[in-house]
């Protein structure tokens, strides 16, 4: 069966965007972002959109909702399907690019998620509980493979809400999850970068983005009326820069804590991708420092697409 799509995955600061653009340019493709935070408008430096790298290549699922909204996997899969079908209909190649492994894996597997409604009574019962207490509650529902669900109390409460819904609606959840699911025939390319190189890239990129105005970006969001707790909800850059701007962290504390958090995030990303492989997704890992020509040659040799 011919390749239907190509996905470019890897940890933060590995150079995924440039590789995806190279592929889309060479193969008449368009990029579908698989990043849980790049969907937000006016959150550009903090999410590493690097829009200048696209060089005119069309992209999808970037800047599609306002800062302060709560985007989720259900919405992503719906939006992904719309974009994917549109690209295919126009005879182009969808090139999926992003580090949100959960988004990539579910999209490639053709999964459809049920929309989980708010459970106000449950939320009220969880109000005032500490993050540690919420984490313990969530652990009763499922094994926590990473800490994304418990970065903040809001995230933990939503994760408990979703888990409770699945417990109470197992048939509906299972039927909805499998309804119409069709696994895509995808070539998955992973960008492999040694840990020390990755750490160096992360530190250099963090300083560069701060120098380019990342603090001002977050300040403008706060001045525009986006609540601090909503920005903290997004984690990483927006969490620590917000805490700095509202006076809870010094600059040095912010930078050091954020740097550590991004390193930990990259490690969690790799854990997810390794888990994807164990669950049946074959990832073809290619060195991060290949030339564009070498990279394309490797991808062509892995697929039945002609140069």
The per-residue pLDDT for 293 is 96
Calculate ∠ Cα 292-294-298, nearest 5°.
115
Q: Do residues 91 and 240 both lie within one domain?
A: yes
pLDDT for 128 beyond 70: yes
Q: Pairing state of beta strands 59-60 and 283-287? A: unpaired
The per-residue pLDDT for 18 is 96
The per-residue pLDDT for 220 is 97
| Residues 224-255 pLDDT 10s | 999 999 999 999 999 999 999 999 999 999 99
Query: How far apart (Å, rounded) are the C-alpha atoms in residues 55 and 207?
Result: 24
Q: Do residues 101 and 59 both lie within one domain?
A: yes
Residue range of the domain that includes 297: 5-112+180-302
Q: What is the CATH number of the domain that holds 45?
A: 3.40.50.300
Q: Do residues 233 and 163 both lie within one domain?
A: no
Give the confidence band of 113 by pLDDT, cuts at 50, 70, 90: low
Whether residue 162 lies inside any domain: the answer is yes
Q: Do residues 64 and 39 both lie within one domain?
A: yes
| Residues 175-184 pLDDT 10s | 555 555 678 9
The per-residue pLDDT for 118 is 87
pLDDT for 142 beyond 90: no
Mean pLDDT computed over 272-279: 95
Query: How far apart (Å, rounded) are the C-alpha atoms in residues 212 and 218?
Result: 12
Query: How far apart (Å, rounded) are the C-alpha atoms in residues 89 and 100?
Result: 26
SS3 for 55?
A: coil
| Residues 37-85 pLDDT 10s | 999 999 999 999 999 999 999 999 999 999 988 888 888 999 999 999 9
Whether residue 137 lies inside any domain: the answer is yes
pLDDT for 268 beyond 60: yes
Task: Identify the domain boundary among 179, 194, 215.
Answer: 179
The mean pLDDT of the chain is 90
pLDDT for 259 beyond 70: yes
Query: How far apart (Å, rounded) are the C-alpha atoms in residues 16 and 10?
Result: 7
Q: Do residues 174 and 25 both lie within one domain?
A: no
Query: How far apart (Å, rounded) are the C-alpha atoms in residues 251 and 219?
Result: 14
pLDDT for 307 beyond 80: no
The per-residue pLDDT for 215 is 97
Provide the number of structural domains found in the chain. Answer: 2
Q: Which residue has the higher pLDDT, 35 or 151?
A: 35
Nearest Cα residue to 231 out of 12, 40, 13? 40
pLDDT for 3 beyond 80: yes
pLDDT for 263 beyond 70: yes
Q: For residue 305, how many other CB atoms are within 10 A of its CB?
A: 15
Name residue 96's beta-bridge partners: 7, 32
Q: Which residue has the higher pLDDT, 127 or 241?
A: 241
Calculate ∠ Cα 220-224-229, nearest 5°.
85
Q: Do residues 151 and 60 both lie within one domain?
A: no
| Residues 198-234 pLDDT 10s | 999 999 999 999 999 999 999 999 999 999 999 999 9
152 contacts 235 by C-beta, under 8 angstroms = yes
The per-residue pLDDT for 179 is 52
Whether residue 231 lies inside any domain: the answer is yes
């Amino acid at each position: 069966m011919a390749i239907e799509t190509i996905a470019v995955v890897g940890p933060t600061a590995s150079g995924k965007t440039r590789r995806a653009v190279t592929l889309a340019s060479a193969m008449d493709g368009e990029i579908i972002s698989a990043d849980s935070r790049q969907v937000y408008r006016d959150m550009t430096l903090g999410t590493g959109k690097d829009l200048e790298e696209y060089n005119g290549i069309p992209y999808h699922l970037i800047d599609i909702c306002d800062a302060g909204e709560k985007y989720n996997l259900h919405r992503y899969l719906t939006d992904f399907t719309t974009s994917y079908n549109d690209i295919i209909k126009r005879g182009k190649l969808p090139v999926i690019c992003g580090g949100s492994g959960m988004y990539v894996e579910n999209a490639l597997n053709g999964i459809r998620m049920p929309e989980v409604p708010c459970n106000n009574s449950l939320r009220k019962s969880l109000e005032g509980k500490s993050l540690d207490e919420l984490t313990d509650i969530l652990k009763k529902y499922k094994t926590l493979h990473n800490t994304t669900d418990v970065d903040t109390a809001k995230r933990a409460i939503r994760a408990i809400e979703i888990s409770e819904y699945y417990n109470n609606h197992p048939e509906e959840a299972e039927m909805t999850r499998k309804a119409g699911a069709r696994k895509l025939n995808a070539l998955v390319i992973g960008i492999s970068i040694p840990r020390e190189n990755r750490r160096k890239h992360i530190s250099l990129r963090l300083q560069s983005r701060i120098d380019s105005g990342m603090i001002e970006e977050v300040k403008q969001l706060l001045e525009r009326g986006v609540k601090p707790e909503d920005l903290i909800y997004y984690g990483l850059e927006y969490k620590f820069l917000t805490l700095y701007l509202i006076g809870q962290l010094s600059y040095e504390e912010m930078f050091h804590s954020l740097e550590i958090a991004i390193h930990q995030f990259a490690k969690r990303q790799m854990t997810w991708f390794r888990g994807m492989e164990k669950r049946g997704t074959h990832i073809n890992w290619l060195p991060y420092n290949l030339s564009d020509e070498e990279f394309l040659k490797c991808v062509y040799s892995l697929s039945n697409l002609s140069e």
